[in-house]
Structure 1
Amino acid sequence: MGVNLDKPHLWKQDVAASVDMYNAWFMEFAPQAFRNTRIGTTASVEAALAATGNLTDIQPNLLRQRPEILPTLRMSTCPPIAVDRLIGLASVNPGVVKCMEKEGKVPGRMPVGLLNAELQKIADIIEKMADPDIFVWLARGDQPSDAEVHRAATIVADRLCGAVANPIIRNAQEQRQLAKIKAWLEARGYQQLVAGDGTTFDGMTPGTFSFRMNVPVTVGDKSVNIPVDAVIMPLDRAVGQLPVFIEAKSAGDFTNTNKRRKEEATKMQQLRADYGPAVEFNLFLCGYFDSGYLGYEAAEGIDWVWEHRIDDLAEFGI
C-alpha cells in the first residue's frame, strides 16, 4: 500500500496546499536569498573590474590566469553577450570559450601563443562593446569613483544573478527542505552522519541519515555515482538492509516539473537495476506538482510526501 501515490482523490487538494506553501515561502524568503547571492556576486564583479583596470585593460594573461571572470565580462557589454554570440563576434575557437564558461579554466593543451591570440580576440570584443551607460568613466577617459565602480558592479551582478535566478531560488528552497527533514528526523532520535566519515549507504547503522550521499550504479559498462538528497536508515531496520532514499523537489511553476519528471524515474530505474526491486525511492515535494506529474511518478512506482504533511514520512517506516 502506498503513502500518497495510490490516493488520487487527495491529489487536487494537496496540489493546492503545496502551491500555497511554496508561494508563501517565495514571497517571504526568495528575495532575501537573491539579495544575499547578489551581494557576493557584486564583490566578485568589483574584483574583476579591478583586475581589468575597470574594463580599460583586459589582457590575455589575465584571462588565462582568471578565466572564471568571462561571464562577468559578457554581462558588462551593451547588450550583454551570450556565449555563442561571443564565439561568433570574436571568431574565436568555441572550445576556448566553452572551457572558460563551463569549467572556469582555459584549454590545457593549446599552445600559449595560440591561446593568447584567441584570448585577445575576446578581450577586444569586450572592450569595444563595454556598456557606456554602466561604465560611465570610459567615455570620460578618467578614473571612476568608488561609488561609480560599486554602482556598475551592482548592475552587472543583477544581470548575472538574473541569468541564474531559478537555480538560486531552487538551491535556497532545497536547503530549506533538507533542514525541515533534518529537524523532523532529529526530533525522533535520528543522528546525522558526519560528512566525509567514509560511511556508505549500505553501511549505515539504524537511526542515522545523511544528505547528498553518492550511491554507485552501473550505467552501461561503467560505475557512476548518483547523488541522493536524503538517505535514511530507519530505526528498526537491520544493518545491511537498504535505507530509504528521498529526493527533495520544489518547483515554482507547473511547466518545469513536467519537463523534469523523467529525472526521478531514471534514477529509480538505475537504483533498482543494481539493488533490486526492494529499493525505496521517494520524493519530498513542495510547490507546483500537478496531477500529470504525480500520475507519471505513481506509474513508475515512485511515492512521495508533501512538505505540508511531513508527518507522512513515518508511513515509510522512518
Structure 2
Amino acid sequence: MPVNLDKVAHWKADIALSVDMYNDWFMRFAPVAFRNTRIKAAQDVEEALKATDGLRNIQPSLLRLHPEVLPTLRMSTCPPLAVDRLIGLSGVTPSLVKTMELTKRPPARMNEATLNLQLAKVAAIIARLADPDIFVWLGRSQAPAPDELHRAATIVADRLCGAVANPIIRNAQEKRQLAAIKAWLEARGYVQLAGSDGVRFNAMKPGTFSFRLNVPVKLEGGVQQVNIPVDAVIMPKTAQLGELPIFFEAKSAGDFTNTNKRRKEEAVKMAQLRANYGPSVRFNLFLCGYFDGGYLGYEATEGIDWVWEHRIDDLAFFGI
C-alpha cells in the first residue's frame, strides 16, 4: 500500500517543511562540518608542503608514492588548476592525472620509466605556477617559518574545501540522516548488523538492519555482476522466510535544480534490483531538503515511495 507517493494533496506542504528542516540543519551544522574538514585538509596540506620542501623540490617519486597530494598541488598554483588544465599544460596522458585523482594511485599499466617522465612534467608545471603570494618563501634561500607554512596550508585548504563544498555538506547530511533512522529503529527494538560482519541482504534475520550494504546484481545480458550500494536495508520484525528486506536510499539536497537533474538515478537502481530479485523488491527514499513536485511526480510514476525525514514515523507504515 502506498505511503506518500499517492498523497499528492500533501506534497506542497511537505516540500515546504522539508526545505525548512534542511535549511535549519544547514545553518546550525554545515559550517561545523566544513570547518572540521578544513582543519584536516590544512594538516594534510602542511605535510605535503614539508615533503616538497615548500614546493621547492617536487619529485616524481613523491607523486608516485603519494598521488593523493595531487589535488593539493593543483590548488597551490596561480591560478588554481583544474584537472583538464593541468593535463593540457603538462602534455601528459589524460588517464594519468584522472586516475591519480579518482583512485589515489598511478595507472597500473604504465611502465615506471614513462610514469616518472610524465610525473616530472606535472611537477614542473606545479613548480612553475606555484603562487608566490601564498608561498612567500619561494625565491629566497631560507626555509619557510612555521607560521608561514601554517598560513599557506590554511589558504590551500580553503581552496580545496571550496572545490568540494557540496560533497562535504552532502556527506555530513547523509550521516545525520542514517543516524536518525538508526535511532528510530533501535527505539523499536531493531538491531544493527555491521557491514564488516559479511552481512548478506537476503540472509538478514527479522528485526535487523544494516547501512551501506552492497546488493549484487547482474547487468543487462546477465554476464557482468556489480554491487549496488543501498544506504539502509531493513528486515521487518514480521518478515516471513524468504522475504526480502526493505531498501531505503537517504537523499538530501540544498537546491531544486540538482535533484531534478539526478532523479533518474533512483529509478535505474530500482529497475536493476527488480530485474534481479523480482517485482516484490521494495525500494524507497528517505528525503530531506529541496525535492519539488516534479521530482516527486517522477519517482511516483516509477513506483518509488518515500518517507520525509520531518515525518520519520511514516516508516511504520512500511511494516517496519
Alignment TM-score > 0.5, same fold: yes
Corresponding residue for 2:26? 26
Q: Quick check: 1:306 aligned with 2:308? A: yes
CA contact (8 A) 2:195 2:213 kept: no
Corresponding residue for 1:234? 236
Q: 1:111: Cα distance to partner?
A: 2.8
Corresponding residue for 2:89? 89
What residue identity is the alignment partner of 1:307? E
Q: 5+ unaligned residues in a row in structure 1: which ranges?
A: none
What residue identity is the alignment partner of 1:315? F
Question: What is the alpha-carbon distance in structure 2 between the residues aligned to residue 46 and residue 118 of structure 1?
Answer: 25
Question: What is the alpha-carbon distance in structure 2 between the residues aligned to residue 67 and residue 313 of structure 1?
Answer: 44
Residue deviations 1:40-95, cap 9 Å, x none?
Answer: 11111011001100100011111111111111000000000111111111111222
Q: Quick check: 1:192 aligned with 2:195? A: no
CA contact (8 A) 1:203 1:239 kept: no
Q: 1:4: Cα distance to partner?
A: 0.5
Q: 1:199: Cα distance to partner?
A: 2.5
What residue identity is the alignment partner of 1:65? L
Superposition map of 1:1-318 within 5 A: 1-220=1-220, 221-318=223-320
Q: 1:115: Cα distance to partner?
A: 1.8
Question: What is the alpha-carbon distance in structure 1 between the residues aligned to residue 246 and residue 94 of structure 2?
Answer: 44
- Per mean C-alpha deviation after superposition, the further-off stretch among 210-219 and 196-205 is 196-205
What residue identity is the alignment partner of 2:258? N
Residue deviations 1:133-168, cap 9 Å, x none?
Answer: 110111434211111101100110111111111011
Q: 1:236: Cα distance to partner?
A: 0.8
Return the TM-score normalized by structure 1.
0.98
Runs of 4+ in 1 over 4 A off after TM superposition: none
What residue identity is the alignment partner of 2:313? D
User: How big is the alpha-carbon RMSD for the aligned residues of Structure 1 and Structure 2?
Assistant: 1.0
CA contact (8 A) 2:83 2:97 kept: yes
CA contact (8 A) 2:21 2:289 kept: yes
**Paired residue secondary structure (1:137):** coil
CA contact (8 A) 1:206 1:239 kept: no
CA contact (8 A) 1:56 1:127 kept: yes
Q: 1:195: Cα distance to partner?
A: 2.8
What residue identity is the alignment partner of 2:71? P
Residue deviations 1:235-290, cap 9 Å, x none?
Answer: 11123211110000000000000011000000111111111111111100000000
Question: What is the alpha-carbon distance in structure 2 between the residues aligned to residue 236 and residue 262 of structure 1?
Answer: 32
Question: What is the alpha-carbon distance in structure 2 between the residues aligned to residue 165 and residue 271 of structure 1?
Answer: 31
CA contact (8 A) 1:244 1:280 kept: yes
Task: Quote the sequence identity (%).
Answer: 71
- Per mean C-alpha deviation after superposition, the further-off stretch among 77-86 and 197-206 is 197-206
CA contact (8 A) 1:75 1:156 kept: yes
Question: What is the alpha-carbon distance in structure 2 between the residues aligned to residue 198 and residue 94 of structure 1?
Answer: 37
Residue deviations 1:217-246, cap 9 Å, x none?
Answer: 110221211011000001111232111100
- Per mean C-alpha deviation after superposition, the further-off stretch among 103-112 and 68-77 is 103-112
Equivalent pairs counted in the alignment come to 318
Question: What is the alpha-carbon distance in structure 2 between the residues aligned to residue 33 and residue 65 of structure 1?
Answer: 29
Return the TM-score normalized by structure 2.
0.97
Question: What is the alpha-carbon distance in structure 2 between the residues aligned to residue 239 and residue 231 of structure 1?
Answer: 16
CA contact (8 A) 2:195 2:212 kept: no
**Paired residue secondary structure (1:110):** coil
**Paired residue secondary structure (2:216):** strand
Question: What is the alpha-carbon distance in structure 2 between the residues aligned to residue 290 and residue 28 of structure 1?
Answer: 23
